[in-house]
Amino acid sequence: MRGADYVIKRVGFAIVTVFVAVTINFALFRLAPGSAITDLSRVPHATPELRLALKKQFGLDKSKGEQYVIYLGQLARGNLGVSFANEQPVWSNLRTALVNTLPMVFLGTIFSIVIGTLTGVIAAWRRGTPVEAATVTTALGFYSMPTHWLGLMLVIIFAGVLPTGGMTNEFLLNPSFWTHVKDLASHIALPSLTLGLVLYGEYTLIVRSAMLETLGEDYILTARAKGLRPWRIVRQHALRNAMLPIVTLIALSLGYIVAGAILIETVFSWPGIGRAVYEAVLQRDYPMLQGAFLLLTISVVFFNLVADLLYFKLDPRITE
Amino acid sequence: MSEVAVEAAAARGGVMWSTIRRQPSATIGATVLVVIAVAAILAPWIAPYGVHTQVGPVFGQPSWSHPLGLDDGGIDMVTLLMWGARISLVVGFAATLVSMAIGGSVGVLAGYFGGRTDTVLMRITDYFIVIPDVPLMIVVAAIWGPSLFHIVIVIGILLWTGTARVLRAQVKSVRERVYVKRARALGAGHTRIILRHVLPQVAPLLIANTVLTVAVAIFDETALSFLGLGDPSRTSLGKVIENAFQRAAISSGAWWAIVPPGALVALIILACSLVGGALEDSLNPRLRVAHLSARTFRLRPLVGRGDAL
C-alpha cells in the first residue's frame, strides 16, 4: 500500500506545483510596468474612450482578485489568451511551435543518450587511463560551452555544407515527398547536433559517476572473480544497477531541454517554442510569454513526475 | 575563539588548499581562474587600447598590433575581452553572493532547526527547483527591463536551491555532534551555536558550492545577453557574443569577433567546474562512501539548472 501512497503523494505535489506556477505566472505579469493599454493606446490621437474600451476588452477594469479568478477559469478551459503580436490564440501559436520543436529536440536527445552512455561507460571502465582522461575532458569541454556559441561554431564550420537557418528551403516549390524529407533532414541536422553535443557532455559525466559507483560494489568483484567477460560484467551487472540514477536524471533533464531550446532555436531560426519565446520577448508579447512559460513549467513538472515514478518503479525500496 | 578552534579552522583551510594543489585538474582550474580574474581586474590599466576607441576598420583582421582583430565597431578584441570578463565576473560573483545568502540561510536553518521549519523550507525549495530558471529569468528580465542589477537579482533568486540542499544535509550531521550538544548544554543560544560552531564546519562546502554557482551564473548571464536581455550599457562577454551575432560577424567571415568571447566563457565555466568539483569531492563525506553517495549531479545550465538531485 505504501507504493500507492507514494504515487498519490508525487502526483499531488505535481498538481500543487502547477498551481503555484500558474499563480506566479499571473502575479508576475500583473506586476509588469505599464499594461497592454499603455502600449496599444500609443497611437496618435488616442482618446480616453479608446483607452477605456481597450481596458474593458482586456478585462483590466476589474479588480486583481476578479482577474485572477477569470484567469483560472479561462485556463481551465484551455484558453491562454490572445497574442498581442499576431492576434491568434496563444494556444494555437504554441501548438504549432511545439510540433516543430519536438522532432529537433527528440533527435538531439537520442544522439546524446546513445553517445553519452557509451562514452560514460567506457570512461568508467577504463578508470585512471588516458582513455578516461580524454573522454572526461572532451565531455567537460562540451559541458562548459555556452549553448548558443556552440551553435554558432557549428554554423561557421558547416556553412555552405548544411543549411544554417529555418526549417525548410522556401525556394523549393511543390517538392516531391523525398526531396521534402531530405530538405527537412538537412535543416534539422545542425540544431539537433548542437543540442546533442551539449547534452552529450552532461550525460557522459552522469553515466560515468553512476558507473564508477556500481563498479566499486562487491558483486562486481565477485563477477570478476568468477572470470566473467568484461562486457558481460558491464552490461549485466554494472550498467543495470547504474540505470537507476541515469534514467531518473535523464528524465529530469528532459523537462529542461525544451526550455534550453530557446537559445538553439534563436541561433538557427528554428520556428519552435524557443523561437516563439525569443520573439515574444522582442515584441513584449506578454500573453505569448505567459503561455510559453506555463507550458515550459508544466513540461518540467511532468518530467519530474515521470522521474519520480520511474525511480519508484526501478527501485521499489523508495517510499520517501 | 579557543586555540583548538583556530587550529581546526586552519586545518579546514588547509584541506581546501591541499585539494587544489594535489589534484592536477583543480590546480589548472584555479590557475586559469586567477589569470583571468587578474586580467579582468586590471583591465582599466593594462588593456592595450580604450574599450570605446575605434582603432581600425570594422571587423579588422588579426594583426601584430591586434592579435584577435577588431569587432564591428573597430574596437580591439583583446581589450573588449578583458572588459567583458570584468563585467561577466562581477555579475557571476554578485549573483552568487545573493544565491549563497539565500541558499546558505535556508540550508542552515532547515538543517539546524529540523522539524516544521525543515519541512516548510524544503517544500519551498522543492518548488523553486521545479521552476525552469532560464524561462523565468527571461520573463522577469523582460518585464523589469534589462539592467545589470536586475540580472544579478534574478539569477541570484533562482540559483540557491542546490546550495540549500547540500548545506542542509551537512548541517543535520553537524548538529548531532558532541561539541554542539555540549555548547547547547552550557546554555549557548541558537545564534551563537550556528555562527560559532555550525557555520565554520560547513563553510568549506559553501565555498565549493560558490565556485560551482559562479559558473552557472556566468552562463545564465551570457544566455540572457544573447536573447537581448542584457544591460545595453555594459559590455559583458555575453554581450560581445550577441553583438557579433547581430552584426553578422559570421557572414562577414570575422570569426575572431565571435570565437574568442565564447571560448573565454567556456574556459571560465570549465575552470570553475574543475575547482568546485574537486573541492566538493574532497569535502562532502557522502561522496566518498560508495553506498551513501547521493552525488549531486550538476545538470547543465543550458537546461537552466544548477542541480538536479
Concatenating the DSSP letter of every residue in B98-165 gives HHHHHHHHHHHHHHHH-HHHHHHHHHHHHHHHHS-HHHHHHHHHHHH---HHHHHHHHHHHS-HHHHH
Least confident of A178-182, B84-88, B156-160, B267-271: A178-182
pLDDT digits (tens, 9 = 90+) for B129-185: 777 777 777 877 777 777 888 888 888 888 888 888 888 888 888 888 888 888 888
In this prediction, residues B119-137 reach a mean pLDDT of 81
Task: Check CB contact under 8 Å for B227 and A217.
Answer: no
- What's the gap in Å between the CA of A201 and the closest CA on chain B? 9
pLDDT digits (tens, 9 = 90+) for A208-254: 888 887 887 888 888 888 888 888 888 888 888 888 878 877 877 77
Instruction: Note the ipTM here.
Output: 0.81
Which set of grid coordinates corresponds to residue B50? Answer: 580604450
Alpha helices, H only, chain B: 3-22, 24-41, 43-46, 77-113, 115-130, 133-144, 148-158, 161-175, 178-185, 190-192, 199-226, 237-246, 259-283
Q: Give chain B positions within 8 Å (CB) of A148.
A: 222-223, 226, 241, 245
Q: Give chain B positions within 8 Å (CB) of A304.
A: 130
What pLDDT is attached to residue A290? 83
Task: Check CB contact under 8 Å for A278 and B309.
Answer: no
Least confident of A240-244, B125-129, B292-296: B292-296
How many CB atoms lie under 10 A from the CB of residue B243? 21
Contact of B32 with chain A, judged by CB distance below 8 Å, is answered with no
**At B198, is the secondary structure helix, strand, or coil?**
helix
Q: Which residues are registered as beta bridge partners of B82?
A: none
Q: Which residues are registered as beta bridge partners of A159?
A: A162
What pLDDT is attached to residue B101? 92
Q: Give chain A positions within 8 Å (CB) of B138.
A: 262, 277, 281, 289
Closest to A37 (Cα-Cα) out of A18, A56, A15, A9:
A56
**At B288, is the secondary structure helix, strand, or coil?**
coil
pLDDT digits (tens, 9 = 90+) for A28-55: 777 665 555 566 656 666 677 777 777 7
For chain B, percent of residues with pLDDT exceeding 90:
10
pLDDT digits (tens, 9 = 90+) for B55-86: 777 777 777 777 777 777 778 888 888 888 99
Q: Give chain B positions within 8 Å (CB) of A31.
A: 143
- A20 vs A169 pLDDT, higher one: A20
For chain A, percent of residues with pLDDT exceeding 90:
5
Work out the pLDDT band at B212, boundaries 50, 70, 90.
confident
Closest to B33 (Cα-Cα) out of B158, B159, B218:
B218
| Angstrom distance (rounded) from CA A121 to CA A235 | 10
Q: Which residues are registered as beta bridge partners of A162?
A: A159
Task: Check CB contact under 8 Å for B142 and A297.
Answer: no
Cell 562540451 locates to A142
pLDDT digits (tens, 9 = 90+) for A85-94: 777 888 888 8
What pLDDT is attached to residue A119? 92
pLDDT digits (tens, 9 = 90+) for B220-235: 888 888 888 888 788 8
Pick from A20, A33, A152: CB nearest B250: A152
Task: Check CB contact under 8 Å for A260 and B302.
Answer: yes
What pLDDT is attached to residue A35? 56
| Angstrom distance (rounded) from CA A247 to CA A308 | 10
Cell 525543515 locates to B118
Q: Indicate the average pLDDT of chain B.
A: 79
Q: Give chain B positions within 8 Å (CB) of A261.
A: none
Half-sphere exposure of B196 (CA within 13 A, CB side): 14
Contact B167, B111 (CB under 8 A): yes
Work out the pLDDT band at B202, boundaries 50, 70, 90.
confident
Contact B119, B111 (CB under 8 A): no
| Mutation for B interface: A262, A265, A275, most B CBs within 10 A | A262
Contact of B1 with chain A, judged by CB distance below 8 Å, is answered with no
Contact of A35 with chain B, judged by CB distance below 8 Å, is answered with no
Work out the pLDDT band at B98, boundaries 50, 70, 90.
very high
User: What does residue A293 show for φ and ψ, rounded to 5 degrees?
Assistant: -60, -45
Query: Which positions 87-126 of B are in contact with A (Cβ < 8 Å)?
Result: 126
What pLDDT is attached to residue A15? 87
* Kind plus residue range of the DSSP H or E element containing A28: helix A2-30
Closest to B137 (Cα-Cα) out of B152, B120, B115, B116:
B152
- Please give the single-letter amino acid code of residue A217: E
Contact A124, A303 (CB under 8 A): no
